[in-house]
Amino acid sequence: MTDELVPDQADAPPAAPPPKDPTEDAAASWLRRVSSSGSTVTVLAFVLALVIGGILIAVVNPAVTAAAHYFFAAPLDTFEAAWTAVSEAYSALFRGAVFDYQADTFAKAIRPLTETMTVATPLIIAALGVAVAFRAGLFNIGGQGQVIMGASLSAYIGFTWHLPAGIACVVALLGGLFAGAVWGGIAGVLKARTGAHEVIVTIMLNYVAISFLAYFLTTEAFRVPGSAEPKSRTVRPEAQLPLLFGSQYRVTWGFVIAILAAVFVWWLMSRSRIGFQYRAVGFNPNASRTAGFSVQRITVYVMLTSGALAGLAGAVQLLGTSKYLTDGIAGTIGFDAITVALLGRSKPLGIFFAGILYGGLSAGGRFMEAVTGTPISIVLVLQALVVLFIAAPSLVRTIFRLPAPDAELKGATA
Amino acid sequence: MLLELRGITKRFGPLVANDHIDLVIEPGQIHALLGENGAGKSTLMNVLFGLYEPDEGEIAVDGSVVGFRGPSDALAAGIGMVHQHFMLVPVFTVAESVMLGHELTKGSFLDLDSARAQVRTLSERFGFDVDPDARIEDLPVGVQQRVEIIKAMARDARVLILDEPTAVLTPQETDELIEIMRQLAAAGTSIVFITHKLREVRAVADVITVIRRGRVVGSAAPTAPETELAAMMVGRAVMLELDKAPAEPGAVALSVRDLLVLDGAGTRVVDGVSFDLARGEILAIAGVQGNGQSELAEAIVGLSTPLRGSILLEGTELVGLSVRDVLDHGVGFVPEDRSHDGLVGDFSVAENLVLDLIFDPRFRSPLGVDLAAVQANATQRIEEYDIRTQGPGQPAGRLSGGNQQKVVVARELSRPLRLFIASQPTRGVDVGSIEFLHRRIVSERDTGTPVIIVSTELDEVSALADRIAVMYRGKIIGVVPGDTPRDVLGLMMAGVPLDDARRQAAENPTTETKLEEGDL
């Protein structure tokens, strides 16, 4: 709806904009612009990324390179080789991510999809956390640190505490949630009390968390007795997330948790009173203050919520997929979550699909590399390009000649 | 220079901001462009100044058609513009400001001496009294405006566009500006004077063109009565004088004692202010922008904490309470800058109508916010306040200024109040909505609510106030009855104590008084 052609009111004199408020965060206003750009842009950004990715695949493909040597003799050979390379790579990507139509049985054919779901699960949950912060005008770049802390505490609870099945898993998940909330909350409190910018603080807290994790793995409390490996004990079976579709697939109840988290975030941001305040503070802290909201308290709550979701993502990854702690437990979940949140335009449903897409690219990328020899780095390039185009909606609009969302002024204020 | 606009049309999507507008500006003429906010005046001037490209129509200078691709083309053609919000760099001196954009150089150095000389020459010629070495930030608003005019004149502007130039001025400064405009016109400069203030138009214009909804609806002579001009502007008869019953003040509801508020730099922005306010009474706090009125209002609402003093509302001390608590004590507050403090522009109209009522039981449901109730409330307020929107779901930031203000006022008046404070309730609001908002405020008073109006507009102060407190440099320099003459108020706003103000006003009546007495 916001990408409709609704001009600014004609009386808003564009040549004389109101004095810009210096407290208005440039980053926050960019964020608002990006997240309000239409889903058309998102889809087109993906198409554009695929096209450029295709060119890259062709360029690095040995067959294409060989054909290019005699390009002027038989130019069609080059194009044919390029077409083959790109179509094979992308079809392998599809087979690795969604449905392997060459598999013997249906159960095997749909395994890629379940792999995608497995990879997507922690991404979706962490991205929901990032999105809550985004929509409240805060940049939580600390997803990585919150994921690590969440995974660490849930692992500790998971392999130390002897609790009955069911309860053990829930307690371990709550532990992860709590640890992430604390880690995010630190940034929130610092922002509210001292004005320290949350971007800087969360980035630094990532390093602290990484170092903590390295330290944990050297302690007796975490390490496997008698082993020197930087690897923790495995969580007790009662604390592990049960499998969702049986032992054939790796998908766990974590996927259901991700869906529940998405529903929760939808309720929080669209239906709850606290979420109303989150959004109000995100859009206009001054008006929120005038309306009697405590901007500082809300800032802390937002970071607690955001961190809690990231911590939950870490717990789900640990209790569902990896089962023990290593220094690479968080992978790049915390950073990819930012991308997924942007891709999903900070809306729960959008994030759910963006997470699936991202998970699919990762799962499919591995398969593509194995089958066609196309380097998996192409997938990283694709992911990066999608984000790049989404972050620059006007670029996409220019390329596809879409109308601008607002009647823009040439020359702005002269 | 003869400037003609022929059939100018400018569209924004489905909205036609200017619809085949024809305008002829003769040399040495003061041409007033009168219209409500949103009528398309500013759009038209932006077209003229090269900021917008017209969809249809052409601009002709001395009979030959010109195409402006940007403000620099317009400047080169001799068209200067003074924007409503000045485009000055606060840390520059006057001479530097005038030079900005066409810097004079001597070798590789800026030639400040020439710029200074230029400022002095122009200043003397038109009696501006501007020091070329003064820093912009140290100058009063009226003088800053003169700097803008000098800037335009230094570039040989032969047509000067003044966009709502009097919005920021005291009556005395307005008088001086009118004098300057006359001198410029006498020297051959044409002036396009954009305004929605009827008094000023009648005082200074040679020709008046009235614009409504993007079209020229007619022109009028400056002798036309105000009611006629207003009717042309709004498209229907408008009651300019608010007819309100005399106040029936009840018991004292609010008493402020010795209130001291410091700003971030430690300056006393509210300096020992004391006053009482009774139920069913409107107290207007008048003053030139920046004399502590806004800070006083903010202190009462709890947005800032006074260093000293007390604010007693029906026996409750408000000092030290949070904004939430103050609002819960039945204080309704319309902030001065609605888009900055009053509304969340990206929120829908419906959401904005409950912005500070979200904890009100009316809008609660077991699962959080009762969206149906929010929606029903929006439908009701939109109807009641005649808020022009595409629907309750439209983002409030997309409404016109008047409608945004109606949203804020509607919200604040939609619960039982013990005190209503409105800062600049009709700033940037069109005539039709002003009338409506004023009626609302008076009817709130008539239900017994004590009302504080903070306003820099004397028209508004005179229309609404039962009593007027004039603030100057953080102090109340006098509390006078609501029917105090404008001249006296104007002088008090400039810091002259009441008795002196009365005497001086009798000796030197301003243009406005003369106009009212019909001897112009």
Interface of B with A in 67-106 (CB under 8 A): 70-72, 81, 83-85, 87
Six token digits for residue A340: 């997924």
Q: What is the pLDDT of residue A5?
A: 35
Q: Is residue A218 part of a domain?
A: yes
Measure Cα distances from B353 to A168, A172, B310, B388, B432 in Å. Answer: 46, 43, 31, 14, 21
Inter-chain residue contact A11 with B37, CB threshold 8 Å:
yes
Neighboring chain B residues of A405 at a CB cutoff of 8 Å = none
pLDDT-wise least confident of A139-153, A258-272, A388-402, B443-457: A388-402
What is d(CA B503, CA B501) in angstroms, rounded to the nearest whole number? 5
Banded model confidence at residue A33, pLDDT cuts 50, 70, 90: low
Q: Which of A 27-46 lie inside 8 A of B, CB atoms?
A: 32, 36
Q: What is the pLDDT averaged over residues A72-76? A: 85
CB A309 within 8 A of CB A132: yes
On whether residue A27 sits in a domain, the answer given is: no
Q: Which residues of A touch B368 (CB under 8 A)?
A: 267, 271-273, 275
For residue A23, what are its two tokens? 């407290």
Residue A4 has pLDDT above 60, yes or no: no
pLDDT, mean over chain A? 85
| E strands, A205-364, in order | 231-234, 324-326
A195 shares its domain with A70: no
Residues B22 and B59: their CA atoms lie apart, in Å, by 10
Establish how many alpha carbons lie within 13 A of residue B500's alpha carbon, considering only the half-sphere containing its beta carbon. Answer: 10
Nearest by CB: A407 against B13, B49, B369 = B13
Q: Point out which residues pair with B211 in neighbouring strands.
A: B35, B216
> What pLDDT does residue B401 have?
77
DSSP state of A11: T
- Shared domain check, A149 and A55: no
Claim to verify: residue A47 and residue A139 sit in the same structural domain? no
E strand or H helix that includes residue B59: strand B56-61
Q: A149: phi > 0 → left, psi -120 to 50 → alpha, else beta; which?
A: alpha
Report the residue from B42, B45, B347 with minimal CB separation from A283: B347
- Give kind and range of the element (H or E) at residue B441: helix B431-446
Find, in chain A, the residue whose alpha carbon is nearest to that of B390. A6
Q: Closest partner residue to A272 among B335, B355, B368, by Cβ? A: B368
Q: Which residues constitute the domain of residue A273?
A: 107-368
DSSP assignment of B6-19 equals: EEEEEEETTEEEEE
Q: How far apart are CA B13 and CA A404, in angstroms?
A: 11
**Nearest Cα residue in chain B from A410:** B51
State residue B104's pLDDT score. Answer: 74
Tell me which of A1, A2, A6, A9 to substitute to probe the interface with B (most B C-beta atoms closer than 10 Å): A9
Residues of B in contact with A17 (CB under 8 A): 85
Q: What is the pLDDT of residue A15?
A: 33
Amino acid at position B301, single letter: V
Amino acid identity of A60?
Answer: V
Burial of A207 (0-12, 13-18, 19+ CB in 10 A): exposed
Nearest residue on chain A to B361, judged by CA atoms? A273
Gap between the Cα atoms of A52 and A50, Å rounded: 6
The answer to whether the Cβ–Cβ distance between A289 and B303 falls below 8 Å is yes
- The answer for B 443-472 residues in CB contact with A (under 8 A) is none
By the CB < 8 Å criterion, does A293 face chain B? yes
Domain-located, residue A94: no
C-beta of residue A303 within 8 angstroms of C-beta of residue A195: no
Is residue A288 assigned to a domain? yes
Whether pLDDT at A151 is above 50: yes
Check CB contact under 8 Å for B359 and A273: yes
DSSP A322: I
Surface of B (349-408) touching A: CB under 8 A: 351, 355-356, 358-359, 364, 367-369, 371, 395, 398-401
Same domain, A157 and A280: yes
Ordered DSSP codes for B457-504:
-HHHHHHH-SEEEEEETTEEEEEEETT--HHHHHHHHTT--HHHHHHH
Phi, psi of A409 (to 5 degrees): -95, 130
Helix, strand, coil % over all residues of chain B, rounded to 5: 35, 25, 40
Q: Which of A18, A276, A407 sits opposite B369 (nearest CB)?
A: A276
**A230-245 mean pLDDT:** 90
CB B180 within 8 A of CB B128: yes
Q: Which residue has the higher pLDDT, B241 or A377?
A: A377
Place of tokens 């001025």: B169
For the ranges A240-249, A317-326, B4-13, B399-408, the maximum mean pLDDT occurs at A317-326
- With vertex at residue A159, the alpha carbon angle to CA A157 and CA A163, rounded to the nearest 5 degrees, is 70
Nearest CA in chain B to A286: B341
Residue pointed to by tokens 């006022």: B409
Q: Which residues contact B83 (CB under 8 A, 6 or more apart)?
A: A13, A15, A16, B148, B163
**Cβ contacts (< 8 Å) between B324 and chain A: which residues?**
292-294
- Pair of tokens at residue A211: 């170092």
Q: What angle do CA B52, B54, B59 make, to 5 degrees?
A: 100
DSSP state string for A126-175: HHHHHHHHHHTT----THHHHHHHHHHHHHHHHHH----TTHHHHHHHHH
Q: Does any CB of chain A come closer than 8 Å to the CB of residue B513?
A: no
Predicted local confidence at residue B264, as pLDDT: 79
3-class SS of residue B164: coil
Q: Which of A16, A271, A289 sits opposite B163 (nearest CB)?
A: A16
Residue A23 is predicted with a pLDDT of: 43
Q: What is the rounded distance in angstroms from the CA atom of residue B49 to the CA atom of residue B38?
A: 18
CA distance A2 to chain B (A): 9
What's the longest Cα–Cα distance across chain B?
76
Q: Are A396 and A45 in contact (CB under 8 A)?
A: yes
User: A24: exposed, middle or buried (C-beta count within 10 Å: 0-12, 13-18, 19+)?
Assistant: middle
**pLDDT at A265 exceeding the cut of 90:** yes
* pLDDT computed for residue B239 by the predictor: 63
Determine, for residues B340 and A21 on separate chains, whether the beta-carbon distance falls below 8 Å.
yes
CB pairs under 8 A between A and B: 146
Strands (E), B13-55: 15-25, 30-35
> CB-side exposure of B235: number of CA atoms within 13 Å?
12
- The pLDDT, as a whole number, for residue A305 is 97
Q: Kindly provide the residue ranges of all beta strands, DSSP E only, lying in B344-385, ordered along the sequence.
A: 364-365, 368-369
Q: What integer pLDDT is reported at residue B475 of this predicted model?
A: 92
Q: A175 and A310, same structural domain?
A: yes
Element (H, E) at B288: none
**A364 and A277 in a common domain:** yes
The pLDDT score that the predictor gives to residue B447 is 93
Task: Name the DSSP class of A13.
Answer: -
Output the CA torsion sign for B242, B247, B253, B259. positive
- Judge if A231 and A267 occupy the same domain: yes
| Contact status, residue B301 vs residue B421, Cβ threshold 8 Å | yes
Quote the minimal CA–CA distance from B89 to chain A in Å.
12
Q: Tokens at residue A298, please? A: 């809300």
pLDDT tens over chain B, length 520 residues: 788 999 999 887 777 888 899 989 988 899 998 887 667 887 888 888 888 888 889 899 888 888 888 888 888 888 988 887 778 888 888 888 888 877 777 777 888 888 888 888 888 887 778 888 888 888 877 788 888 888 888 888 889 999 888 776 777 788 888 888 888 888 889 999 988 778 788 888 999 999 888 888 888 888 888 888 888 887 777 666 677 888 888 899 999 999 999 987 888 899 999 999 999 999 999 988 778 898 999 999 999 999 999 999 999 999 999 999 999 999 999 998 888 899 998 999 999 999 999 888 999 988 889 999 999 999 999 999 988 888 898 899 888 777 889 999 999 999 999 999 999 888 777 777 888 899 999 999 999 999 999 998 888 898 899 999 999 889 999 999 988 888 888 888 888 888 888 888 888 766 554 444 443 3
Residue A136 to residue A128: CA distance in whole angstroms: 12
Region class of B164: left (phi > 0), else alpha (psi between -120 and 50), else beta: left
- Nearest C-alpha in B relative to A413: B51
pLDDT of res. A414: 29
- Write the CATH number for A208: 1.10.3470
Given this model, what pLDDT does residue A25 score? 57
Element (H, E) at B479: strand B475-481
- CB distance A18–B85 less than 8 Å? yes
In chain A, how many H helices and how many E strands?
17, 2
Comparing CA positions, the residue from B484, B346, B100, B218 lying closest to residue A35 is: B346
Q: How many domains does chain A have?
A: 2
User: Which residues on A lie below 8 Å from B163 (Cβ)?
Assistant: 13, 15-16
B332 touches chain A (CB under 8 A): no
Closest CA to A305 of A122, A167, A119, A126: A126
pLDDT confidence bin for A247, thresholds 50/70/90: confident
Q: Are B398 and A5 an interchain contact pair (Cβ–Cβ within 8 Å)?
A: no
User: CA B504 to CA B517: how far, in whole Å?
Assistant: 18
In a domain, A243, yes or no: yes
Using an 8 Å CB-CB cutoff, list chain B residues near A290: 301, 303, 323, 333, 335, 341-342, 356
Whether the pLDDT of residue A11 is over 90: the answer is no
Question: Which has more pLDDT, A6 or A137?
Answer: A137
Q: Say yes or no: A143 and A257 in one domain.
A: yes
Q: Which residues of A touch B152 (CB under 8 A)?
A: none
Q: Are residues A353 and A392 in the same domain?
A: no
Given an 8 Å threshold on Cβ–Cβ distance, is A16 in contact with B84?
yes
Q: What is the mean predicted confidence (pLDDT) over A339-354?
A: 90
pLDDT over threshold 50, residue A303: yes
A267: contact with B, CB 8 A cutoff: yes
Contacts of A228 (CB under 8 A, 6+ apart): none
Asked if the C-beta of B347 comes within 8 angstroms of chain A's C-beta atoms, the answer is yes
Q: Are B218 and B46 in contact (CB under 8 A)?
A: no
Q: Say yes or no for a CB contact (<8 Å) between A7 and B303.
A: no
Same structural domain for residues A257 and A208?
yes
Q: A25, A258, A37: which is closest to A139 by C-alpha?
A: A25
**A15 → closest Cβ in B83, B214, B333:** B83
Q: Are A301 and A274 in contact (CB under 8 A)?
A: yes
Min mean pLDDT across A125-139, A144-158, B93-107 is at: B93-107
CA distance A139 to A131: 9
The answer to whether residue A20 neighbours chain B at the CB level (below 8 Å) is no
**Does residue A187 form part of some domain?**
yes
* Statement to judge: residues A129 and A73 lie in one domain: no
* Domain annotation covers residue A412: no
**Residue at token pair 């409330």:** B377
* B327 contact residues in A (CB cutoff 8 A): 291-292
Nearest-CB residue to A289 (from B323, B347, B398): B323
Residue closest to B50 by CA, chosen among B65, B64, B69:
B69
> Is A258 within a domain?
yes
pLDDT of residue A37: 59
Tell me how far CA of residue A399 lies from CA of A3, A47, A48, A49, A74, in angstroms.
17, 12, 9, 12, 31
Gap between the Cα atoms of B473 and B292, Å rounded: 6
Q: What is the pLDDT of residue A205?
A: 96
Specify whether A74 is located in the same domain as A148.
no
DSSP-assigned states of every residue in B319-351: TT--HHHHHHTTEEEE-SSIIIII--TTSBHHH
Whole-complex ipTM: 0.78
Q: Does A76 touch chain B (CB under 8 A)?
A: no
And the tokens for B121? Answer: 């020459």
Angle subtended at Cα B421 by Cα B420 and Cα B422, rounded to the nearest 5 degrees: 120
- Cβ-based contacts of A16 with chain B (< 8 Å): 42, 83-85, 163
